[in-house]
Amino acid sequence: MNLQQQLEQSSIPLTARKWTIYAIHHSHTDLGYTERQEKIEQYHVDFIRQALRIVQDAHSGANPDWQGFRWTCETFWAVEQFLQQASAAEQRDFAEAVLRGDIELSGTYLNMTELPDYGLLSKIHSKAQAYARSIGHQVDSAMTADINGYSWGYADSLLQNGIRHLFSCIHTHHGMYPLGRKQLPFWWESPSGERLLVWNGEHYMFGNELGLCPGALGKYMIRDEFNHKLVEPGEIHDQIANIRIHRYLTQLEVEQYPYPFVPVMLSGLPTDNGAPNSAIIEWIGQWNRQHGEQISIEMVSLSQFFERLKQEGLDELPVHAGDWPDWWTDGVSSTPMHTQIYRDAQRTLRKVEKLDPQRNHVSDQELESVEQALVLYAEHTWGYHSSIYEPWHKNVQMLEVRKQAHAAEASRLAYRALDAVLLAENGATLYPGRPYRFRVTNTSELEITELVQLRLEGWEPDELRSGVEVIREDTGEVLPMQSSQPQIIITELTLKGLQTCMLTLRPLPQKSASTGITVSNTKLVGSDRVYDMVDIYPLMPAGATASSITLSQHGLESPFLSLKWSEAGGITSWYDKEAGKELLRPDAQYGAFTPVYEVTVPAAESEASEVWGIRSRMGRNRKGLGVQRSIGRLASVKELDNGPLYATLELRYQLQGISYFSLFLKVYAKTSRVDISVHFHKDSVWNPENVYLALPFTAGDSEQETLYADKPGGVVRPWRDQIPGSCLDYSAVQAGIAWQDEERSLMLATPDTPLIQLGSLDYGTRQVHTQQQPDTSPETYAWLMTNYWETNFKATLGGFYEFQYYVAIGDKMPPASIASSLQGLIEPFVVTRSRD
């Protein structure tokens, strides 16, 4: 059956009410995906020039058919690029068009992942408003497209920058809209208690599918009998548009949609990064002349739409408070090494701001360069559209390198700024006779006790071969120290919030030649050097410095913790000796920090089409029905170091997909803390994969505890502080997560890997918030890496990786203190060699 025959047989339902369709014309901004990043910048600059020509011709009367044309700048980033390149006349014309309402500024800068912290969000959300003020204007509305979620603090960031309305264009590919339905307004109550008016909208090019743009008739969300993608403008296009518009509006009536109007977004071309198109306003005029008495269409700006919405009255709108986790933030784990570099650069930037608050040594412009690189990496586009089925393609490789270069650039600029500040504060470069003095600053506002690393140059241990003492100059005390490597001396130091002190290495008098080490008569270790028994007489000779940590092949004991492990279960016990409580859940599937590897193998894995196709059928699962899961099995335990401050051991695991995997545990001797370093070599695999670390922790009373996550703007309680219908499975955090019961807190800092998996790993029906069993506590995993998307993501995860985690246990604290405590764990003291 040809298209004409389909049209003749297709019925047009009649609407029961008079309707208005509000068309919001924009260009979805992807920094990549369809073209090179610099080409996309060029496109968007020219799109604004094209929109200016259209609105000027309409305003002057040169083309009366274009009157009513409105262009919405989806991102202020595009406006920023235009203003940098525009002539003075173009800048003036643009400002006049904005003031007339012909061109709209969105209060968002780019469509972001959840990587940025609150400071960065607030900075980028201020940019559109700052420009608007400069021309005597006020921005009150913002839009996003593609992404389907935001951290809770995102709302406060908009509100504090004068943005009162947010239009969210949901893309349900590997994601979903919240609240159980779209095309719905609600109040989003922010952490501060203020309210943001949100429209929970359709896909950002749904107007194209309805037929509002001639020559760009899409077919993505709509699945009907018209088996085509594009048709030329003309009678056939108009017939399809007429059918689809009537069907859509009658469906809204069936679903008891409450309003006599509905907004739809659309592009001027059938693509992301599409141009403005004057044919849309011409087609709207033609439609209104034929159908306007029953269904009228009006092109509007964001603010115009929200003003119309407010006429309906907002008192009865539902109010929802909580996090809105973004299903699409998982792209950050498809390039895990560069995300790690990004997060380190973000923390380094914050250190610079604290060390130089008056900008005496670095300029605002230098710090803004760091922020811009961070923003460009954290933007939601993660690669070229064919990254999976043709990963060798030139554009795939080119866009991947350029995307990742933003993280590297942020790191380079942040550390350059840090070096400048430290050098200005008496930091030393290399020169002969440099003193052994170190300046140590706590950049946290909390009192912190830290194991500080004092690093020496390659030749310096020979100069200090007789040994050293670590002297704290402000108190004169000799600090305890430990050294397992000649070039690193580790000491324990306590500093108050934002405090600085000086440490000096004082050489000891020359010692006589060593007489060697004799055999212990009480240490139960055999000639094979395997220490798999507990000493009956754990005694040391008088005057010797003993470690307070005992290690064996099956566990360890410190004054604060007892850890046990087994070959099959890994770390099966993490016991808090101070509180007398087990810190691993009794229902844990896997041991603490056990690696979990998943791969979904297609039937014909050698065919690129199926490597792509199996991913496209995953929906919200991020794995296929036949997913193969491998659980790490403990293969060996090795003691590396044991002294008065800490003990270090290596737990080696074996599992599929990863040729080498080791956990390095640094157990503190004087506090209830363990630092975990994960080293592994990931095989290069084209099939969709995931790598997790099990985190089956509890604060001690799993039935009475609360799980907290550090998000921009403050902590949230996953599975509790969320918008109904939002993603339960995972969330991107800043410093980490914490469990807290009525007595104790367990902090887990995650400096390198932001994604925390909260739902079940099993393939199956995914649940969203309010569908979970009441009073259930989510499983927790660190989601280290993934390549499950069929587009945009990096195809292979192969390579060498090291990720850090910090576990600390203490007394219960106010929820407001949890974020700063987690941040204190991942922001070690700033240590620099002093000039004099």
Q: Which residues contact 220 (CB under 8 A, 6 or more apart)?
A: 203, 205, 209
- What's the whole-number mean pLDDT along residues 395-407? 95
Q: Is 763 helix (H, G, I), strand (E, B) or coil?
A: coil
| Model pLDDT for residues 149-185, shown as the tens digit of each residue | 999 999 999 999 999 999 999 999 999 999 999 999 9
Q: What is d(CA 350, CA 410) in angstroms, rounded to the nearest whole number?
A: 12
Contact by Cβ (8 Å): 232, 210: no
- Phi first, then psi, for residue 50 (nearest 5°) are -65, -45
- Tokens 């250190």 — which residue? 351
Whose CA is closest to 448, among 826, 733, 737? 826
In whole angstroms, give the CA distance from residue 18 to residue 296: 8
Taking the C-alpha atoms of residue 535 and residue 172, their distance in angstroms, rounded to an integer, is 60
Q: Look at 235 and 453; give whichever has higher pLDDT.
A: 453
Closest Cα to residue 830, out of 506, 368, 464, 495? 495
Provide the Cα torsion 810, 816, 822, 827; round to 10°: -120
Question: What is the predicted pLDDT for the residue at 524?
Answer: 73
Least confident interval from 35-49, 594-608, 772-786: 594-608
Whole-angstrom CA distances from 567 to 554, 571, 583, 597 are 9, 9, 20, 17
Give the HSE-up count for residue 764: Cα atoms under 13 Å, Cβ half-sphere. 7
What pLDDT band is residue 234 in, cutting at 50, 70 and 90? confident
pLDDT per position as a tens digit, 684-724: 999 999 999 999 999 987 678 999 999 999 999 999 999 99
CA dihedral 509, 512, 515, 516 (to 10 degrees): 40
pLDDT of residue 719: 96
Q: Which tokens go with 231?
A: 């048709």
β-strand pairing of 165-170 with 195-201: parallel
What mean pLDDT comes out for the span 304-323?
96
d(CA 44, CA 28): 10
Q: What is the pLDDT of residue 543?
A: 39
114 Cβ contact partners less than 8 Å away, ≥ 6 residues apart: 149, 150, 151, 325, 326, 329, 711, 712, 731, 732, 754
Phi, psi of 322 (to 5 degrees): 135, 180
Phi, psi of 772 (to 5 degrees): -75, 160
CA dist., res. 427 & res. 419, Å (int): 8
Mean pLDDT of the chain: 93
Question: Around Cβ 329, how many Cβ atoms within 10 Å?
Answer: 26
Which of helix, strand or coil describes residue 398?
helix
Q: What is the pLDDT of residue 700?
A: 84
CA nearest to 202, candidates 169, 244, 172: 169
Least Cα distance to 43 among 275, 217, 234, 250 occurs for 275
According to DSSP, the residues that pair with 297 across neighbouring strands are 21
Distance in angstroms (rounded) separating the CA atoms of residues 263 and 198: 13
Bridge partners of 478, per DSSP, are: 471
Are 244 and 210 spatial neighbours (Cβ–Cβ below 8 Å)?
yes
Report the DSSP pairing between strands 781-786 and 755-757: antiparallel
Task: Identify each DSSP E strand in 218-307 by its residue range.
Answer: 261-266, 295-299
Q: How far is CA 405 from CA 37, 571, 755, in A?
A: 12, 38, 21
Residue in 323, 386, 382 with CA at minimum distance from that of residue 154: 323
Name the nearest CA neighbour of 73 among 38, 110, 30, 103.
103
> Which residues does 106 contact at the CB level (< 8 Å), separation at least 6?
72, 73, 74, 75, 76, 128, 139, 141, 142, 143, 302
Asked whether the predicted pLDDT for residue 482 surpasses 60, the reply is yes
Q: Which amino acid is at 712?
A: P
In the predicted structure, residue 307 carries a pLDDT above the cut 90:
yes
Nearest to 588 by CA among 717, 777, 808, 741: 777
11: amino acid identity, one letter? S
pLDDT of 124: 97
Hey, which of 368-377, 424-433, 543-552, 821-830 has the most confident mean pLDDT?
368-377
812-836 mean pLDDT: 93
As a whole number of angstroms, the distance between CA 732 and CA 711 comes to 8
Under the banding of pLDDT at 50, 70 and 90, the label for residue 544 is very low
In whole angstroms, what is the distance from residue 398 CA to residue 410 CA? Answer: 19
CA dist., res. 640 & res. 695, Å (int): 24
Q: How confident is the model at residue 397 (pLDDT cuts 50, 70, 90)?
A: very high
- Answer for the pair 762, 217: CB distance below 8 angstroms, yes or no: no
CATH fold for domain 3-321: 7-stranded beta/alpha barrel (3.20.110)
If you average pLDDT over residues 502-510, what whole number do you get?
91
Delimit the domains of the chain by residue range. Answer: 3-321, 326-449+551-831
The arithmetic mean of pLDDT across residues 569-583, rounded, is 96
- What digits encode the pLDDT tens for the residues 41-94? 999 999 999 999 999 999 999 999 999 999 999 999 999 999 999 999 999 999
pLDDT at 481 > cutoff 50 = yes
What secondary structure letter does DSSP report for 334? G
Instruction: Name the phi and psi angles at 500, rounded to 5.
Output: -125, 140
**Alpha carbon separation from 196 to 74, 272, 327 (Å, rounded):** 18, 27, 21
Residue 820 neighbours by CB under 8 Å, 6+ apart? 444, 445, 446
Specify the 3-state DSSP secondary structure of 401. helix
Q: What is the DSSP pairing of strand 71-73 with strand 500-507?
A: unpaired
Apex CA 496: angle with CA 492 and CA 499, to 5°?
95
Predicted TM-score (pTM) of this structure? 0.93
Gap between the Cα atoms of 707 and 778, Å rounded: 9
Write the pLDDT tens digit of every residue in 797-815. Answer: 999 999 999 999 999 999 9
Whether the predicted pLDDT of 528 surpasses 80: no
Asked whether the beta carbons of 590 and 562 are under 8 A apart, the reply is: no
Among 325, 338, 389, smallest CA distance to 792 is for 389
Query: Average pLDDT in the 7-36 region?
Result: 90
**Left (φ > 0), alpha (ψ -120 to 50) or beta: where does 313 sit?**
left
Q: Does the pLDDT at position 612 exceed 50?
A: yes
Which position has the token pair 């009441």?
774
Query: For residue range 258-286, what is the model confidence (pLDDT) as tens digits?
Result: 999 999 999 999 999 999 999 999 999 99
Whole-angstrom distance, CA of residue 738 vs CA of residue 710? 8
Amino acid at 834: S
* The domains spanning 3-321 and 326-449+551-831 adopt the same CATH topology: no
Does residue 374 register a pLDDT over 70? yes
The two counts, helices (H) then strands (E), for the chain are: 17, 38
Distance CA 130, CA 136 (A): 10
CA distance 207 to 216: 10
Can you tell me whether residue 589 is helix, strand or coil? coil
CA distance 586 to 588: 6
Mean pLDDT for 713-738 is 96
**φ, ψ at 505 (rounded to 5°):** -90, 120
Q: How far apart are CA 539 and CA 516, in angstroms?
A: 20
Least confident residue range of 308-317, 455-464, 629-638: 455-464
Helices (H), 356-495: 364-378, 394-424, 460-463
Query: Percent of the chain, pLDDT > 90?
Result: 84
Residue 832 near residue 434 (C-beta atoms within 8 A): no
Whole-angstrom Cα distance, residue 186 to residue 308?
15
- For domain 326-449+551-831, give the CATH number: 2.70.98.30
Q: Is the pLDDT of residue 681 over 90?
A: yes
DSSP-derived 3-state class of residue 811: strand
Q: Is the pLDDT of residue 6 over 80?
A: no
